[in-house]
Amino acid sequence: MVTTGRLLVAERDPELLELIVPVLRPAGHRVTAARDGLQALGLWRNQPFDLVVLDMMLPHLTGLEVLLEMRADTERTQSAVLMLSSVATRAEVRDGLMAGADDVLATPFTVQALRTCVDELLAERALVAATA
């Protein structure tokens, strides 16, 4: 069973953002896009998202800074987080996971890899919610 959800995609590269959003919408996801960290954090604070896809290198606030702000907010229901990294060094992956990311996907990635990560994270979130 595929779980659909409310997704926030924060990506600095407009071409990559134009690729990601149309890939996720046909699967039934409601997708909101942001182009920088401040916009992403503001959107996340004002509406619930099941999954947030964060570019590590966002302008204004990096993806890691946005993630740390999200995880520090104990008043809001936490979203699953998929970090996107064009560098994906071991240190960067470790930093993302230690800050609370649920997964890290290196760019460039295939459409199928993105879909698989999103589907798995949403299914995991639904399972946790069902057993809580």
In which residue are the tokens 């659909």 written? Answer: 4
Whether 121 has a pLDDT exceeding 70, the answer reads: yes
Cα dihedral 89, 93, 95, 97, rounded to 10, equals -170
Supply angle C-alpha 57, 58, 60, rounded to 5: 125
Angle between helices 63-72 and 37-46 (to 10 degrees): 30
pLDDT digits 0-9 by tens, 84-113 = 998 767 888 888 899 999 999 988 899 999
pLDDT in tens, 5-24: 999 999 999 999 999 999 99
pTM over 0.85: yes
Distances (CA, A) of 95 to 1, 33, 75: 32, 24, 24
